[in-house]
């Protein structure tokens, strides 16, 4: 109503404009049509409704004296004025609350599209290259277009600083470092192509060409090369890709690869790859979470546990236990998630004991599909969880208001699984000893009722005997902003972790590391994570340079001998 003449003026102009259907001069409608247009040329004050029908598909050729245009609440932009000018309609950039659309940010900051007529003619047969633009944020990006810098955070002076800038051929067995063994571990969900295509609704913000495996794999491999970890724990490794190119590519980089495919018809799995120059393999132990005879365990997730021997001269020949898993996603099946976790911990408990009875240092990596502070996360870090009355939908913390009020049963899994509430395998001998101990205690205590009550309370508590710390703190200390390990159209949260058994003198770890461990691990440094806001400056994940919907986690450890 403020400018009543303007709509009529625009209608009159529209009658004089010629409709063009030429493929190289299209108005691509890949984004929702904005209901408001601002004329940024001679009439910056003009704001009026755009008279476009809902099913509008005609392509208007704009006379060169109109423009440039600015579209409010949209990612539209008009190219520099060439004869083949067209509207560039990038897919909507998902963003955190209160964040402006990226294309709008770029226009307001005075950045211009630097494309030339010659470049446009070269790509005239590639509509997508013409009609999509890449947003940049110069302050937060490195020199490579569309990337965000992640830096190393150190907890020890003599850390990866030396490893990055000095010759990588330094002999670790030299007299100065004879008692020290430093190594890096990466956890990375590389996004199975099958899962990407089955869940395309999560990647509506991405250009289609960026989602093709032939584009994605070189990026992922380049990322692995650059980060140069000594141990890789990879999730969502598709079996056919692993067989045809992933395994051979990593072997050419000096890795030995162990792989466990998911059961059933699921075509992906977990891989642990280690540099043969740093480790030798003692044992490889796959874990299948599917059990045909147990209805609770009807999912096809898996885990993999390796026992590695460091290649260096030390007094005690300490081994290192590396575990990798990808737990069930379903936010409403916390009972399955906890049972899968207990099965993984039981396998670790059977692999980690050394000849002298102590446990070797342990690192557990993976996509746990649980958020920081959730009951499942707390159980991993604190070693105990009383789940009496706990709603199944609250176990992973993925949903703020989970549907359904069903609580975890006591016990969660049946006895025939063969895993105790302490997350260790129950052998017949152990069962006999436990039964004998219970009978002896019952004979000594003539208080039958109290014993029954105590045993019922005990049965609702899960325990494990690994004192584990998380490499990441999950929040940026300066702002309290959450760290993010995965980011797509539906969510941006932390679900990936690296847990480790900390040495007693590890200042970066939680207090109270157990003495039963054979020395332990000291966290020397970690590759920092990003915020949701950071990630949406490059259009979330996957993007042009990061080809998974997860970020790689990377930490450097020092093996401390007891």
Distance of CA 58 to the CA centre of its chain: 42
Cα–Cα dist 506/156, whole Å: 10
Closest CA to 279 of 238, 320, 338: 320
- Give the count of beta carbons closer than 10 Å to the beta carbon of residue 91: 17
Give the C-alpha distances (Å, rounded to integers) separating 336 from 27, 259, 291, 297, 327: 50, 23, 12, 7, 9
State the pTM of this model.
Answer: 0.71
| 3-class secondary structure, 253 | coil
Answer yes or no: are the C-beta atoms of 292 and 312 closer than 8 Å: no
* Structure confidence at residue 562 (pLDDT): 66
Starting at the edge strand that comes first in sequence, how are the strands of the sheet with 77-78 ordered?
47-48, 37-39, 69-71, 77-78, 87-88
Phi, psi of 71 (to 5 degrees): -110, 120
DSSP, collapsed to helix, strand or coil, labels residue 334 as helix
Chain centroid, CA 467 distance in Å: 24
Residue 353's CB is within 10 A of a number of other CB atoms, namely 14
Distance between first and last Cα of the chain:
80
Q: Residue 374 and residue 369: Cα distance in Å, rounded? A: 10
pLDDT at 38: 39
pLDDT of amino acid 510: 56
Tokens (6 digits) for 61 = 């050729």
DSSP secondary structure letters along 340-365: HHHHHHHHHHHHSB-TTSPBPPEEEE
Helix, strand, coil abundance in the chain, percent, nearest 5:
25, 25, 50
Q: Which residues make Cβ contacts (< 8 Å) with residue 139, sequence separation at least 6? A: none
DSSP letters of 439-467?
A: HHHHHH---HHHHHHHHHHHHTEEE-S--
pLDDT tens string, the chain, 562 residues long: the values are: 455 555 554 444 444 443 344 444 444 444 444 444 333 444 444 444 444 444 444 444 444 444 444 444 444 443 333 333 333 333 433 333 334 444 434 434 444 444 444 444 444 444 333 333 333 333 344 445 567 899 999 997 655 444 443 344 444 444 444 468 999 999 999 999 999 999 999 999 999 999 999 999 999 999 999 999 999 999 999 999 999 999 999 999 999 999 999 999 999 999 999 999 999 999 999 999 999 999 999 999 999 999 999 998 665 578 999 999 999 999 999 999 999 999 999 999 999 999 889 999 999 999 999 999 999 999 999 999 999 999 999 999 999 888 878 999 999 999 999 999 999 999 854 655 566 556 566 555 555 555 444 444 457 999 999 999 999 999 999 999 999 999 999 999 999 999 999 988 777 775 444 445 657 999 999 999 999 999 999 999 999 999 999 999 999 999 987 6
Could you identify the residue written with the tokens 């609770």?
Answer: 296
Give, in degrees to the nearest 5, the angle at Cα 52 between 49 and 57.
155
450: its two tokens: 């109290």
Count Cβ atoms below 10 Å from residue 246 Cβ, excluding itself: 24
Q: What is the largest CA-CA distance in the chain?
A: 102
- Every domain of the chain and the residues it spans: 178-426+459-505+516-560
For helices 334-351 and 375-382, give the axis angle rounded to 10 degrees.
Answer: 20
Cα gap 369→485, rounded to integer Å: 11
Q: What is the DSSP letter of 534?
A: H
CB 362 within 8 A of CB 501: yes
Beta carbons of 395 and 335 less than 8 angstroms apart: yes
Cα angle 503-507-512, degrees, rounded to a multiple of 5? 55
Decide which of 3.10.180.10, 3.60.10.10, 3.90.1150.10, 3.40.228.10 is the CATH code for 178-426+459-505+516-560: 3.60.10.10
pLDDT at 432: 52
Burial class (CB in 10 A: 0-12, 13-18, 19+), 445: exposed
CA–CA gap between residue 428 and residue 418 (Å, rounded): 9
Residue ranges of the alpha helices (H) in 60-212? 102-108, 117-122, 127-131, 160-165, 193-198
Confidence at residue 404, expressed as pLDDT on a 0 to 100 scale: 79
């Amino acid at each position: 109503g403020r400018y009543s003449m303007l709509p009529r003026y625009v209608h009159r102009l529209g009658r004089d404009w010629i409709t063009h259907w030429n493929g190289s001069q299209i108005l691509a409608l890949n984004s929702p049509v904005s209901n408001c247009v601002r004329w940024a040329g001679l009439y910056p004050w003009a704001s009026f409704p755009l008279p476009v029908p809902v099913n509008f598909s005609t392509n208007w050729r704009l006379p060169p004296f109109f423009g440039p245009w600015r579209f409010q609440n949209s990612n539209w932009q008009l190219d520099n004025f060439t004869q083949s000018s067209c509207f560039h309609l990038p897919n909507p950039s998902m963003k955190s609350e209160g964040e402006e659309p990226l294309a709008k940010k770029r226009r307001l900051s005075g950045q211009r599209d630097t494309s030339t007529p010659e470049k446009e003619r070269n790509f005239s047969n590639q509509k997508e290259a013409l009609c999509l633009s890449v947003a940049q944020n110069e302050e937060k990006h490195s020199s490579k277009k569309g990337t965000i810098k992640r830096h190393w955070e150190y907890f020890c002076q003599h850390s990866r600083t030396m490893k990055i800038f000095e010759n990588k051929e330094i002999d670790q067995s030299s007299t100065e470092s004879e008692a020290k063994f430093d190594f890096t571990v990466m956890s990375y969900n590389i996004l199975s192509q099958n899962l990407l295509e089955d869940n395309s609704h999560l990647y509506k913000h991405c250009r289609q060409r960026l989602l093709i495996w032939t584009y994605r794999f070189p990026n992922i491999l380049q990322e692995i090369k650059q980060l140069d970890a000594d141990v890789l724990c990879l999730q969502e490794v598709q079996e056919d890709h692993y067989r045809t190119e992933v395994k051979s590519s990593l072997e050419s980089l000096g890795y030995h690869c162990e792989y466990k495919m998911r059961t059933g018809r699921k075509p992906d799995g977990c891989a642990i790859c280690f540099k043969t120059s740093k480790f030798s393999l003692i044992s490889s132990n796959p874990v299948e979470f599917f059990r045909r005879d147990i209805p609770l365990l009807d999912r096809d997730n898996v885990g993999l546990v390796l026992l590695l021997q460091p290649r260096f001269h030390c007094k005690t020949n300490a081994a290192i236990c590396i575990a990798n898993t990808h737990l069930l996603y379903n936010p409403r099946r916390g009972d399955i998630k906890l049972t899968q976790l207990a099965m993984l911990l039981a396998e670790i408990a059977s692999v980690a004991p050394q000849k002298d009875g102590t446990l070797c240092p342990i690192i557990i990596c993976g996509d746990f599909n649980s958020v920081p502070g959730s009951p499942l996360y707390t159980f991993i870090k604190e070693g105990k969880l009383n789940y009496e009355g706990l709603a199944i939908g609250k176990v992973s913390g993925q949903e703020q208001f989970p549907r359904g009020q069903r609580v975890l049963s006591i016990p969660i899994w049946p006895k025939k699984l063969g895993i105790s509430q302490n997350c260790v395998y129950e052998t017949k001998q152990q069962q006999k000893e436990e039964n004998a101990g219970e009978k002896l205690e019952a004979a000594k205590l003539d208080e039958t009722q109290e014993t029954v009550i105590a045993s019922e309370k005990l049965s609702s508590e899960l325990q494990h005997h690994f004192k584990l710390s998380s490499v990441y703190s999950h929040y940026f200390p300066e702002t309290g902003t959450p760290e993010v390990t995965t980011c797509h159209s539906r969510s941006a949260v932390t679900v990936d972790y690296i847990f480790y058994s900390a040495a007693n003198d590890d200042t970066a770890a939680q207090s109270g590391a157990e003495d039963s461990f054979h020395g332990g691990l000291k966290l020397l440094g970690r590759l920092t994570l990003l915020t949701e806001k950071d990630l949406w400056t490059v259009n979330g994940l996957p993007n042009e340079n990061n080809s998974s919907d997860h970020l790689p986690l990377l930490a450097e450890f020092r093996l401390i001998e007891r």
